Amino acid sequence: MKFLKFGLLVLIVQSTAVFSLNAQEVPDQIFTNGKIITVDDYFSIQQAVAIAGDRIVAVGSNDEISDLAGPETQMIDLSGKTVVPGLIDNHNHVVRATEYWPNEARLDGVTSRAQALEIVRDKVQDLADDAWLMSLGGWQESQFTDSQADFTLSEVDGLASDRPVFLQSNYHHIYGNTAWFEAMGIPLSVSPGSVDELDGLAKYVARDENGNITGRLNGGFPMITEAIKRFPPVSADQQVDAIKIAFSYMNSIGLTSVFDPGGVGIKQESYARTEALAKSEGINVRIFHTLNANVPATAEAADLLIDRIRSTRPFQGDSTFDLVAMGEIYYGPFHWDGVFDPVVPEPADIVEGRKILTAAAEGGWPVQTHAMQPETMDILLDVMTDINEEHPIRQLRWSITHADNIGASQIERARHLGMNLQMRSISVLGNRKPVVEKFGDAAYDMPPLRLVQDSGIPFGLGTDGTKANQIAPFVTLWWAVTGKALSGESVMRQTLTREEALIAHSRSNAYLMFQEANLGSIKPGLLADMLILDRDYLTVPEDQIKDIRPVATIVGGRLVSGEF
Positive or negative: CA dihedral 266, 325, 261, 258? negative
Q: Are strands 29-32 and 48-52 parallel, antiparallel or unpaired?
A: antiparallel
- Which pLDDT score, from 0 to 100, does residue 293 have? 86
Cα 37 from chain centre: 22
- Which pLDDT score, from 0 to 100, does residue 22 have? 47
Pick from 287, 253, 339: which is nearest to 92 by CA? 287
- Which pLDDT score, from 0 to 100, does residue 110 have? 98
Is position 73 within any domain?
yes
* pLDDT tens digit sequence for 379-432: 999 999 999 999 999 999 999 999 999 999 999 999 999 999 999 999 999 999
Residue 291: give its domain's CATH number: 3.20.20.140
Q: Within this chain, do residues 43 and 68 fall inside the same structural domain, yes or no? A: yes
Pick from 240, 253, 314: which is nearest to 283 by CA? 240
Q: Within this chain, do residues 287 and 351 fall inside the same structural domain, yes or no? A: yes
Q: Which of 228, 248, 279 is the last residue before a domain boundary?
A: 228
Residue type, 243: I
- Which pLDDT score, from 0 to 100, does residue 264 have? 86
Q: Within this chain, do residues 534 and 451 fall inside the same structural domain, yes or no? A: yes
- Using left for φ > 0, alpha for ψ between -120 and 50, and beta otherwise, residue 290 falls in beta
Q: Are strands 530-533 and 82-85 parallel, antiparallel or unpaired?
A: antiparallel
Q: Are strands 367-371 and 321-328 parallel, antiparallel or unpaired?
A: parallel
CB distance 171 to 220 below 8 Å: yes
Q: Within this chain, do residues 240 and 213 fall inside the same structural domain, yes or no? A: no
Which range marks the domain in which residue 267 is found? 236-555
* pLDDT tens digit sequence for 132-149: 999 999 999 999 999 999
Report how many domains make up the chain: 3
Q: Which of 204, 228, 252 is the last residue before a domain boundary?
A: 228
Q: Within this chain, do residues 273 and 350 fall inside the same structural domain, yes or no? A: yes
For a pLDDT cut of 90, what percent of the chain falls above it? 93
Give the C-alpha separation, 141 to 276, whole Å: 38
Q: Which parts of the chain have pLDDT scores under 50?
A: 1-23
Q: Within this chain, do residues 344 and 472 fall inside the same structural domain, yes or no? A: yes
- Which pLDDT score, from 0 to 100, does residue 8 have? 43
Pick from 332, 368, 383: which is nearest to 93 by CA? 368
R_g of the chain computed on alpha carbons: 24
Q: Within this chain, do residues 36 and 180 fall inside the same structural domain, yes or no? A: no
Q: Within this chain, do residues 326 and 368 fall inside the same structural domain, yes or no? A: yes
Helix segments in 342-471, DSSP class H: 347-362, 374-390, 408-416, 433-439, 449-455
Of all helices (H) and strands (E), which one includes residue 287?
Answer: strand 286-291
Q: Which of 172, 207, 228 is the last residue before a domain boundary?
A: 228
- Which pLDDT score, from 0 to 100, does residue 16 have? 36
* pLDDT tens digit sequence for 4-44: 444 444 444 344 334 434 445 899 999 999 999 999 999 99
Q: Are strands 420-424 and 459-462 parallel, antiparallel or unpaired?
A: parallel
Residue 174: give its domain's CATH number: 3.10.310
